[in-house]
Amino acid sequence: MGTFALGEILLLLSYLYIPINVVKESKSIRKFMWFGVAWLIGVIISDTVNETPTVNSIKGMFNVILLLSITPGVFWCIRNNHKAILFYWLGTGASDLISFYFLRSFDSDFEYNVWRVYAYFPVFISIGGYLYYKNHRKAGILLTQSFALWTLFNQSRLIFLTVTLANSILVYSNKLKADKQKSVVCKFRAHSLRLIVLILLSFTVVDGIYEKGANDGYFGESVREKYLMQKNTNMGLASGRHDFFMSAALVFQNPVLGYGSYAEDKNGFREDFLWRHGMDLSVSQDSNMLPGHSYLLGAWVYAGLLGALFFIFVLKIVFKTLKYGNFLYDTRMSAMYLYVTILYVWNILFSPFADRMNFLFIVITLIVLEDYRIKNKKKHDQDFNHRSIV
- Residue 375 has a pLDDT of 79
Mean pLDDT to the nearest integer, 2-29: 87
| Buried/exposed 15-36: b ≥16 CB within 10 Å, e otherwise | eeeeeeebbeebebbeebbebb
Element holding 29 (H helix, E strand)? helix 27-49
- Residue 383 has a pLDDT of 45
Kindly write down the DSSP assignment for every residue of 165-194, as one continuous string. Answer: HHHHHHHHHHT----SS--HHHHHHHTHHH
- Residue 385 has a pLDDT of 43
| Contact yes or no for 363/310 (Cβ under 8 A) | no
3-state secondary structure (DSSP) of residue 289: strand
Residue 363: which pLDDT band, with cuts at 50, 70 and 90?
A: very high
| Contact yes or no for 162/346 (Cβ under 8 A) | yes
Mean pLDDT to the nearest integer, 344-360: 89
Instruction: Report the alpha-carbon distance of residue 213 to residue 215 in Å, rounded.
Output: 6
- Residue 300 has a pLDDT of 95
* Residue 91: HSE in the Cβ half-sphere, 13 Å Cα cutoff: 10
Please list, in sequence order, all residues whose beta carbon lies within 8 angstroms of the beta carbon of residue 189, skipping any fewer than 6 positions away: 323, 324, 325
Q: Express each pLDDT in 59-83 by its tens digit.
A: 999 999 999 999 999 999 998 888 8
Residue 231: which pLDDT band, with cuts at 50, 70 and 90?
A: low
Residue 107: which pLDDT band, with cuts at 50, 70 and 90?
A: confident
| Residue 123 Cα distances to 116, 144, 152, 302, 383, angstroms | 11, 10, 17, 33, 36
For the range 207-213, what are the long-range contacts, defined as Cβ-Cβ under 8 Å and sequence gap of 24 or more?
209/152, 209/160, 210/152, 210/157, 210/160, 211/237, 213/152
Instruction: Report the alpha-carbon distance of residue 246 to residue 251 in Å, rounded.
Output: 9
Least confident span in 35-49, 101-115, 247-261, 274-288: 274-288
> Could you give the percent of the chain with pLDDT greater than 70?
84
Instruction: Report the alpha-carbon distance of residue 236 to residue 239 in Å, rounded.
Output: 6
Please list, in sequence order, all residues whose beta carbon lies within 8 angstroms of the beta carbon of residue 6, skipping any fewer than 6 positions away: none
